[in-house]
Chain A
Amino acid sequence: MSQPAAIEVVDVSKRFGPRWAVARLTFTLATGRALLLTGHNGSGKTTLLRMLATATFPTAGHIRLFGQETRAERAALRDEVALLSHASFLYEDLSAEQNLTLVARLRGVPQAKAAVAALLDKVGLTTRSDSPARHFSAGMRKRLAIARLLLKRPKLALLDEPFGELDPAGIRQMEALIRELKDGGTGVVLATHLVEQGQSLTDERLHLENGRAVGAQA
């Protein structure tokens, strides 16, 4: 039996009030592949990523991840999908370590303390592990959000502008992390305005304009 696609989007539309953020979108992504999502601001990239993450659901159409429908199987899919969003999902008054420990404990990660310490080291925040997120720069917040994502060990990583707010060293580190995810078999959807950088990390490209796919998925 063939493996189900990591992502199967079938005639999906999403409306906010009178405005269609995504309209009649259809595409698939095979397991383990990486997709570059491009488009201007307001083209529907973030809405699409939030639907793929099961944070919100389509007004019409269906999304299946690994063969499971997102609305019906949200609890199981949330285990396997992780979103790096514009919003960091962090609690500002908790320290970096406490933010990650909360996720680890809620997920029942074994040896949570060691796992958190290893991830803080990986994203270069060990020396600031006790500082509240409120005191972090935008780039440090982004790195902490990445550590939060990696803690999930997802089968599908959804990355919304992962290079934003990062300095050149941070961008190189992010590229290495995305390659590591891919090499580990994690599917990746990468939304970015940095097309050249994105193309070097992905296998396919989907361009959105006003919520619609423009041109064939390449």
Chain B
Amino acid sequence: MSGHPKILAGAFEVLRKDLLIEWRTRARLNALIFFSLATLLLFSFALGPDSELLRKNAAGYYWLGILMASVLSLGESFRIETENLALDGLRLIPTDPRAVFLGKAFGNAVMLWLLSLIVLPVMVALYDVTIREGVAQLAGLLFLGCLGISAPGTVYAAIASNARARDVLLPLLLFPVLLPSLLASVKATGLIFEGDPMLQLRSWVGLLASFNVLYWGLGFVLFPKIIEDD
């Protein structure tokens, strides 16, 4: 047999597989879009007709919508791995578990990023938001924030996938860990919406990037221990 693809090549194959499954069914993204839109609508109904309050807190509601949808998305990404023990099959091919982590975590980030971009116009219209610092900057920040959710999310989804109460366990494990990066994402997004006269955006993005490095590094090291049955 010829040499195995290296970790990045393996990660690319896992990513390609996950995106191919999504493309064939489109089940996950469709469900996530409707779930997020419903969440954004519920926030606006809950707060009533105070458009100023909605606009002021739009970044927080937006990220909460993405966060809640991420629980569904991460759970689904491991449902396909537990069906037919496909993850065991992937391990025994063999695929480096770190490649599985990178591929799945990046795939989850891409999925959340697409979701955030799709619901963005609706959120802007619903909460009467103006994007003052530029859409490209916002798209970049959203991707960074989604990377921050997907790395720990992939680790915890793998842990929860074998538990009986997986749907409850995943958010219980994930939400506390995500607090710092979520705070940075919300603050940075708020600055992009409302303008950044004090030049604080860079600091929040730096904080978010630092947490991403930490999350991805820990995931890379810990994931093999989680999926290997030692």
Contacts and interface: CB of A to CB of B under 8 A. Distances in A.
A and B: interacting chains: yes
Interface of A: 53-57, 71, 74-75, 78-79, 81-83, 85, 87-94, 98, 102-103, 105-110, 132, 148, 152-153
Given A94-B24, A108-B5, 10 more contacts: A56-B229, A75-B94, A81-B92, A87-B88, A93-B21, A98-B20, A102-B13, A108-B1, A108-B4, A110-B2
A109 B2 CA distance: 6
Nearest to B92: A78
Interface residues of B, number: 29
20 contacts: A55-B91, A55-B229, A74-B228, A75-B96, A81-B92, A83-B92, A89-B86, A89-B92, A90-B86, A91-B17, A93-B25, A102-B13, A105-B5, A106-B5, A106-B90, A106-B95, A108-B1, A132-B24, A148-B89, A153-B1
Given A57-B230, A106-B10, A109-B2, A93 B24 contact: yes
Interface string B34-71: 00000000000000000000000000000000000000
Contacts of B93: 78, 103, 106-107, 152
A98 B13 CA distance: 11
B84 A107 contact: no
Q: Max chain B CB contacts within 10 Å: which of A53, A81, A106?
A: A106
A9 to B, nearest CB: 18
A178 to B, nearest CB: 20
Contacts of A110: 2
A85 B13 contact: no
Nearest to A87: B85
Contacts of A106: 4-5, 10, 13, 90, 93, 95
